[in-house]
Copies of this chain bind each other. A is one copy, B any other.
Amino acid sequence: MDLIESLAVKSEQKILLVVIDGLGGLPMKDKTELESASIPHLNKLAGRAGLGLLTPVDVGVTPGSGPSHLALFGYDPVKYDVGRGVLEALGIGFHPEPFDLCARANYATTGPKGTLVDRRAGRLATERCTGLCELLQKEVKTIDDVQVVVRPGIGHRFVVVFQGPGLGDGLTDSDPQHNGLKPLPVEATGSGGAKSARVANRFIERAAELLAGQKDANFVLLRGLGLPPTIPSMRERFKLTPACVAAYPMYRGLAKLVGMDILETGSTWESELNTLRKHWGAYDFFFIHFKETDKAGEDGNFEAKQELIEHFDEEILPLLQALKPDVLCITGDHATPAVMGAHSWHEVPMLLDSVYVRPTDSREEFGERSCVRGTFGRLNSVKLMNLLLAHSLKLRKFGA
């Protein structure tokens, strides 16, 4: 039990954690996306709230969505490693149980001698992928005493989950990473994975038999095979009753991994806000996720990201006036600067509002450079939970 867990107690106060995905940016001309945006409500909030900068994982480290969200939830993202297979399963809305072996799979094309001609089977259409997955699922329901779940993803990608006794972790990929090579057998790197490897290879064989008549998608590759990490829940660790409002499956999945209740919601931000309003009485911790900013950043669309932040700003005020959270935190999971068109290692602006925030000098704006001077300074994301719990009076005094 770590220090914060040992001090956590229940309180009446409610915490609202708002994650604007990929919020951190870099200047196009002189200002970042956030600094360029017209955000009167966030700026007004920043005037009374405390500001700071979050480092998602470590100095200079560019995080994926998995580690960066686990850190915001108070979990050391290096300790709790969510593998690619599990993340992919979460991403299509499949919530694996503790000993479900998950694999990121894709259709591929092999030539007459069994070498890979196209590792992505010409990036086949999603409809086709769905059809092939239905075929595989229908024909391969079990392998020995192991249930097999096959679920389509986007394009050539899909997910396979193996459910049964004795499936261990520690497996190699079957993808040799280059065309012209033969697919590899899945191998166990330790003794615990022997059965898993056998079952995975048997699945690959069965799939090849079933896909033999297909011109392009005649083979499957498995990568990132692994079990979900064993993670103590936020309930256990922080004595919270937590809920997640997220339109995208992966974020719901990550929230489920740490034991949040996943609230039913629609695909728009407005729908998420309505869901939050509806359930506000029933929980003391809410995580709500705003996705579109990250996409705009990844598309390299500075203006779109700026406008999405402005859109966010317009809707946040009535929500806060209605709900009056005791502790409000608005931040991002990582930076996705439009000028880079990708996630990056840069720090993420953070705003924390509560009656217990110690103010800094003057009226501030919410932006990267004002956060450099913020009252909270620089913080690893994993420590944000300490602040959320402290400001909601959910941490006992340490020592006498």
A residues within 8 Å of B by Cβ?
Answer: 3-4, 7, 26-27, 30, 32, 53, 57-68, 77-78, 81-82, 84, 87-88, 340, 343-347, 356, 358-361, 368-369, 372-375, 377-379, 383, 386-391, 395-400
CB <8 Å contact, A368 and B373: no
Known: A398-B63, A398-B64, A399-B67. A58 touches B359 (CB 8 A): no
Q: Which 4 A-B pairs have the closest CB atoms?
A: A60-B386, A60-B390, A64-B399, A67-B399
Question: In chain B, what residue has the closest Cβ to A386?
Answer: B60
Minimum distance in angstroms from A343 CB to a CB of chain B:
6
Say whether A398 contacts B61, CB under 8 Å. Answer: yes
Asked if A397 and B7 make an inter-chain contact with CB atoms under 8 angstroms apart, the answer reads no
Scoring A64, A87, A397 by chain B CB atoms within 10 A of each residue's CB, the highest score goes to A397
> In the complex, what distance in Å separates the CA atom of A67 from the CA atom of B7?
14
> Does the CB pair A61–B3 fall under 8 Å?
yes
List the B side residues contacting A53 at CB < 8 Å.
377
Q: Is the interface of A mostly helix, strand, loop or mixed?
A: loop
Contact check, B359 vs A3: say whether CB atoms are below 8 A apart. no
Closest B residue to A224 using CB positions: B400
Q: How many copies does the complex hold?
A: 2
Do B400 and A65 touch (CB < 8 A)?
A: yes
B360 adjacent to A372 (CB under 8 Å): yes
B377 touches A343 (CB 8 A): no
A81 x B399 contact (CB < 8 A): yes
Nearest B residue (CB) for A345:
B390
* Contact partner, A358, options B61, B88, B346, B389, Cβ 8 Å: B346
Contacting residues, chain B, for A358 (C-beta < 8 A): 26-27, 32, 346-347, 368
Determine the distance from Cα of A251 to Cα of B232 in the docked complex, in whole angstroms. Answer: 38
CB pair A395–B57 under 8 Å, yes or no, is no
Contact yes or no, A58 B377, CB < 8 A: no
| Cβ A398 vs Cβ B359 within 8 A | no
